[in-house]
Amino acid sequence: MKITLRERKKGDRIVLYLDYYQKGFRRTEYLDIYLIPSPEKGRLPRNDVEKNKDSKRLAEQICHQKNIDFNSGKYSISDIKKQKALIIPYFELIADNRNSSIGNSGNWKSMVKHLKNYCHPGLTFENLNTDFVEGFKTHLSKVVKSNDKPLAQNSRISYFNKLQAGLTQANKDGLLIKNPGDTVSGFKNIESQREYLTVEEIEKLVMTECELPILKKAFLFSCLTGLRFGDLKKLQWSDVSESDSTGPIIKFRQSKTKSPERLPISDQAISLLGDRNTYGGSVFPHLQYSAWNNVKLSNWVKDSGIDRKITFHAARHTHAVLQLSLGTDIYTVSKLLGHKSLKTTQVYAKVIDESKRKAVNRLSIKNLDIFPNGES
């Protein structure tokens, strides 16, 4: 294998790239390193000359290291050939395998959909560079949905992070010698509004009929336990123990983090489940995540007199906020929710602080401003 550093004029700059050659097989790898061309008249300013020297020196070092890597057996010609693989089918395969949770799977598939709209179906990994990654980020910022609204910032963050995760995996699989996403920063994270219910609103839902009784039971159980939809869907009666020495518990493995959990639950949560199926089986049979089920949930919430957009995940938010408002310390709430980091739980503490501020500001006494300053 022979690797040679070469230059090519492209627009108003000179691009540096590596030329790989072995036994009739040739390919190029652009380095995202550029030189400033000399002007038609006069000379380059000294600063530009120094920049060109630094860029050329860096490119030569990369070329030298690549030759060492190939000669030492770290890479082979087969690794170069891998880079001719098509991008879209590779990401589709990753999306099919990333099904740890309903939300995660859906985000991967949505990212692939946007990727298909962004790039040519014949694009291969050997064509990937920083411009491609930057371009996908720009594409996401300009996407307009069918309702004429742009993508939510959290959706942009999620889809771009999925692309970055896929590129990292491709690098591990040998489809990329260098990850072009390493030098591209993601979207800035914006804290989203976390909707939750008050105790009074939960009581309204209890008294309101839902077209899908199993959906109603699962939602209320989530309010009492903080369990995610995916964990409820997989919950088996064999996971529920009512005779533990400390009270009822649920033993399960989180669908999102895959970590084993031993979650204490209240007697009220147990009573909500009803009679245990003697022969085991699902605690919430036929519980499904779909647009149709979401409509039924929305209708149930609306029928109860709650005029806010409440998703199923709001039940988990509700459990966290109510626990904190009742005085449960944040460390315990973090453990109940199965969070790996206390930082994740602190978002709910901010919600409590905001509620306290609103409560303080609601207390207003008329004519209190008639007293002169300093009068006691």
106 and 227, same structural domain?
no
Name the region of 283 (left: φ>0; alpha: ψ -120 to 50; beta: rest): alpha
Query: Is 185 a domain residue?
Result: no
Q: Which two tokens stand for residue 183?
A: 């030098």
Q: Which amino acid is at 126?
A: E
In the DSSP assignment, the letter for residue 150 is B
Q: Which amino acid is at 262?
A: R
Radius of gyration of the chain (CA): 29
Q: How far apart are CA 23 and CA 304, in angstroms?
A: 74
Q: Does pTM top 0.75 for this prediction?
A: no
Place of tokens 């009512």: 242
What is the per-residue pLDDT across 49-100, written as a single tens digit (0 to 9) for each?
A: 999 999 999 999 988 988 887 777 666 655 667 778 899 999 999 988 886 6
Number of helices (H) and strands (E) in the chain: give both, helices first: 14, 6
Query: Is 344 a domain residue?
Result: yes
Query: Is 177 a domain residue?
Result: no
159 and 114, same structural domain?
yes
203 and 154, same structural domain?
no
Query: Is 246 a domain residue?
Result: no
112 and 68, same structural domain?
no
320 and 208, same structural domain?
yes
Final residue belonging to a domain, choices 26, 53, 82: 82
Q: What is the mean pLDDT of each run of 10 residues along the chain (376 residues)?
A: 88 89 76 88 90 92 85 65 85 84 79 94 88 94 88 90 94 85 85 80 95 94 92 90 79 80 89 74 87 92 94 92 88 86 80 68 65 56
Q: How far apart are CA 187 and CA 133, in angstroms?
A: 12
Q: Is 16 exposed, middle or buried (0-12, 13-18, 19+ CB in 10 A)?
A: buried
Domain around 326: 199-235+278-361
Query: Is 60 a domain residue?
Result: yes
Query: Is 36 a domain residue?
Result: yes
122 and 55, same structural domain?
no
Final residue belonging to a domain, choices 55, 82, 109: 82
Q: How far is CA 60 from CA 14, 57, 66, in A?
A: 15, 5, 10
Name the domain count of the chain.
Answer: 3
138 and 114, same structural domain?
yes
69 and 28, same structural domain?
yes
Query: Is 203 a domain residue?
Result: yes
* Residue 266: CB atoms within 10 Å: 12
In the DSSP assignment, the letter for residue 58 is H
122 and 51, same structural domain?
no
116 and 224, same structural domain?
no
Three-state secondary structure call for residue 12 = coil
Q: How far apart are CA 51 and CA 369, in angstroms?
A: 67
300 and 222, same structural domain?
yes
56 and 123, same structural domain?
no
Query: Is 167 a domain residue?
Result: yes
